[in-house]
Amino acid sequence: MAIDTLLGVIFNFWTGLAVLIIILVKSSIKFVPQNQAYVVERFGKYNKTMVAGLNVLVPFIDKVSYNQSLKEHAYDVPSQAAITKDNISLVVDGVLYLKLLDAYKASYGVDDYVYAVTQLAQTTMRSEIGKIDLDKTFEERESLNTNIVNAINHASEPWGVQVMRYEIKDIEPPRTILDAMERQMKAEREKRATILESEGNRQSAINVAEGAKQAQVLAAEADKAEQILRAEGEAQAIVAVADAQAKALNTVGQVANTSEGQKAIQLDLADKAIEAKRAIAKDSTVVLLPDNNSSTASVVAEAMSIINTLNTDKNIKV
């Protein structure tokens, strides 16, 4: 009986020791997930920061006090009123993209870094909007976002966080300002439409004038070319007629240089003389002729005398 009791005690001891060892091992080993950081305290004082992977703690002495996420998070910045440089009240909201870089600073540097950065973003946004006019708030959103990010990062550096970017979601001016802006945009659109229409009419008139000018130039060039061609044609015709006359005269001269040619010339002159007198007699009732030139033969003789004189000058004998 005593032996069984002793064995039972020994068994319970080793069993309890094994369970204790398992508990100690389990509590001393920590697996940290990716993009997580555990802040460990020892006796209430910061000891170390455990990063992703296998980590070892001292049981009952070390304690994980803060579990910080290293991922980038988006936080909504509540709507708030802001006044522009030209004293126009706006309602602005935005989105803040935040990432924790130092788990120690985020755990001990500020109580709630998300709330602190959000408040800082609101105050910085009001400050930046107060530096510009209303019209610039819509045109320079990118510049506003950049300035807000730079200001927040400078102020939040002791907290171990970094603002990756800040985006303004909506800018809401008063209703009266919206109505005035709509009227202004409508007037601007009408102005642009009028300018574009006048530019179109101007360009159309210029195109018409250019077309008329080109048509006149082409017509003048065509007329000039026609006159040149006509002149060239007339010149060629004159040259051709002169050549023909020269050839005819040359042929007549060659024939006239013979006895047969002289006889033919006498006969032609006689015919022309008869025709001339006939025409005179036809057109007039009175014809006066000298006594010595009243006959055709005398006319022909006179013509032949002239021809003989010419032939004598050219050393031609009839």
pLDDT digits (tens, 9 = 90+) for 177-186: 777 777 888 8
The pLDDT of residue 317 is: 41
Neighbours of 296 (CB within 10 A): 14
Q: Is 103 exposed, middle or buried (0-12, 13-18, 19+ CB in 10 A)?
A: buried
The pLDDT of residue 97 is: 93
The pLDDT of residue 135 is: 79
CA dihedral of 109, 113, 116, 121, whole degrees rounded to 10 = 120
What does the alpha-carbon distance between residue 18 and residue 11 come to, in Å, rounded to a whole number? Answer: 11
The pLDDT of residue 293 is: 47
What does the alpha-carbon distance between residue 211 and residue 272 come to, in Å, rounded to a whole number? Answer: 64
Ranges of residues in the chain whose predicted pLDDT is under 70: 1-4, 6-11, 13, 17, 249, 252-253, 255-257, 259-274, 276-318
Strand-pair partners of 45: 42
The pLDDT of residue 95 is: 92
What does the alpha-carbon distance between residue 50 and residue 72 come to, in Å, rounded to a whole number? Answer: 19
